[in-house]
């Protein structure tokens, strides 16, 4: 981008010079002059100019300008023969955005069992699948995947490109954004499209989660975002849906700087995000020994244990059990919240819980505003009562 001064409109009043925080403007004779190397394009001078004589001219990326944009794309991440669940969620959201803006939805699948997956991606909402296969792409080696994506993007670019905010998506998407000289909003929790101008409104927590920011990328294409897994809903698959498949040849001629020496697959733990019953505890549980009661009730109900953040902070639970904005997003059929106040950051993780039973001594606790059943009382006593009644039933 360049700062431009329109001298026919400028009367050298000096407002811009005074407003510039980096002394990039100065007077030479009766002309305002710009020291380009100093300018940080903050726009302060534009706001201060009463004659609208200053503007910022965007230099659009030449690569982008020459290319036709082709609808909405999602990146179909998979590993060891398993499609990442966020892909189905992206297809659901992508379909909704595509229908609203009259675009086609494309899924990009790099490597993988092509024909099987193409059918699956179309069933879940894609109109088209771009396939790019090569032996070098079998491992999740960022550099090869990035290079393959660059090959795909040489022919066409999307108007919107969505990735899962997984560790791989978080690594690949910024590289692509940098290559295309466009913006990227990471870790979105909400996406909306303006059906008139096509702008993507990308919402994500900002300032330590204390407010939600909606970000737009009006000048560059594609508009790119990574989306947090577990927030959106996948659509029901329709295996009669029809779509097209485009194959892109990848030559794999780069020399990567990273060498994968060995891949160690970690043990897959049951994720709290998939639990249909959760018994969760907050600070009101009182002591670490009472966590046994929470675990016991969760076992009786064949569910899992969830916690609020303070319990992770004081070491009573592992982070993998934390629910909320900085923890897991859960969607259980039943959730029993014991001694949890219902702070906004916690509620962000339980918005899709079907039935919430909240136990709290404070009748004004915010958790009650989202609860279906309210128990005003000591959660330790209620837990003991529930466990006892189960024991009595067994006898
Ligand atoms: P408290 O707020 O202390 O509430 C304890 C509750 O227990 C009270 O309502 C009290 O009335 C009740 N109580 C006390 N004794 C009993 C009893 N005997 N029986 C029944 N009830 C009792 N928090 C999360 O949970 N998840 C997140 O992901 C998360 N992310 C955050 C991100 C940011 C950027 C920030 C700033 C905060 C985040 N927090 C998160 C913290 C959040 O703001 C709250 O501080 C936290 O959720 C409070 O946890 P709590 O409800 O267990 O504790």
Decide whether any atom of ligand 1 lies within 6 Å of the 205 Cβ: no
Decide whether any atom of ligand 1 lies within 6 Å of the 317 Cβ: no
Decide whether any atom of ligand 1 lies within 6 Å of the 360 Cβ: yes
For residue 63, what pLDDT is reported?
44
Please state, for a pLDDT cut of 90, what percent of the chain lies above it.
Answer: 63
- pLDDT at residue 211 greater than cutoff 90: no
Question: How far apart are the CA of 385 and the centre of ligand 1, in A?
Answer: 23
Residue 283 in marked binding region: yes
For residue 209, what pLDDT is reported?
65
- pLDDT at residue 232 greater than cutoff 80: yes
Decide whether any atom of ligand 1 lies within 6 Å of the 286 Cβ: yes
Residue range 171-181, pLDDT digits in tens: 999 999 998 88
- The whole-model pTM stands at 0.65
pLDDT grade, residue 384 (50/70/90)?
A: very high
For residue 365, what pLDDT is reported?
97
For residue 65, what pLDDT is reported?
42
Residue range 320-333, pLDDT digits in tens: 899 998 888 898 99
Residue 324 in marked binding region: yes
Residue 339 in marked binding region: yes
For residue 67, what pLDDT is reported?
56
175-181: long-range pairs with CB below 8 Å, 24+ = 175/142, 175/146, 176/146, 176/149, 176/150, 176/224, 177/224, 179/146, 179/150, 179/153, 180/61, 180/63, 180/64, 180/153, 180/220, 180/221, 180/222, 181/61, 181/63, 181/64, 181/220
Average per-residue pLDDT for the chain: 90
Atom of ligand 1 nearest to the CA of 340: 51
Question: How far apart are the CA of 228 and the centre of ligand 1, in A?
Answer: 22
pLDDT grade, residue 342 (50/70/90)?
A: very high
Question: How far apart are the CA of 130 and the centre of ligand 1, in A?
Answer: 45
């Amino acid at each position: 981008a360049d700062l431009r001064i329109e001298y026919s409109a400028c009367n050298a009043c000096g407002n811009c010079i005074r407003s510039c925080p980096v002394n990039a403007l100065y007077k030479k004779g009766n002309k305002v002059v710009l020291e380009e190397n100093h300018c940080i394009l903050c726009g302060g001078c534009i706001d201060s100019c009463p004659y609208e004589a200053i503007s910022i001219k965007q230099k659009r990326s030449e690569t982008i300008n020459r290319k036709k944009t082709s609808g909405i794309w999602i990146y179909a991440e998979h590993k060891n023969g398993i499609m990442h669940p966020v892909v189905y969620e992206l297809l659901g959201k992508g379909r909704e955005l595509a229908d609203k803006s009259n675009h086609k939805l494309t899924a990009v699948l790099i490597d993988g069992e092509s024909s099987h997956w193409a059918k699956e991606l179309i069933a879940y909402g894609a109109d088209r699948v771009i396939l790019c296969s090569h032996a070098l792409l079998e491992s999740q080696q960022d550099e090869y995947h990035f290079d393959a994506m660059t090959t795909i993007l040489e022919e066409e670019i999307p108007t919107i490109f969505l990735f899962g905010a997984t560790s791989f998506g978080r690594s690949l998407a910024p590289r692509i954004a940098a290559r295309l000289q466009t913006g990227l909003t990471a870790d979105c929790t909400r996406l909306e499209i303006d059906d008139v101008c096509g702008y993507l409104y990308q919402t994500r927590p900002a300032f330590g989660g204390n407010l939600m920011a909606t970000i737009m990328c009006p000048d560059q294409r594609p508009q790119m975002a990574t989306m947090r897994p577990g927030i959106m809903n996948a659509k029901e698959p329709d295996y009669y849906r029809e779509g097209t498949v485009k194959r892109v040849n990848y030559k794999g001629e780069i020399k990567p700087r990273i060498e994968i020496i060995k891949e160690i697959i970690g043990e897959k733990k049951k994720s709290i995000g998939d639990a249909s019953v959760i018994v969760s505890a907050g600070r009101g549980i009182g002591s670490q020994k009472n966590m046994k009661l929470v675990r016991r009730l969760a076992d009786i109900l064949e569910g899992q244990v969830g916690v609020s953040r303070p319990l992770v902070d004081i070491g009573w639970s592992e982070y993998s059990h934390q629910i909320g904005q900085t923890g897991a997003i859960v969607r259980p059929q039943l959730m029993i919240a014991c001694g949890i106040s219902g702070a906004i950051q916690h509620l962000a993780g339980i918005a899709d819980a079907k039935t919430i039973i909240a136990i709290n001594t404070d009748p004004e606790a915010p958790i009650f505003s989202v609860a279906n059943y309210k128990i005003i009382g000591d959660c330790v006593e209620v837990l003991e009562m529930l466990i006892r009644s189960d024991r009595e039933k067994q006898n």
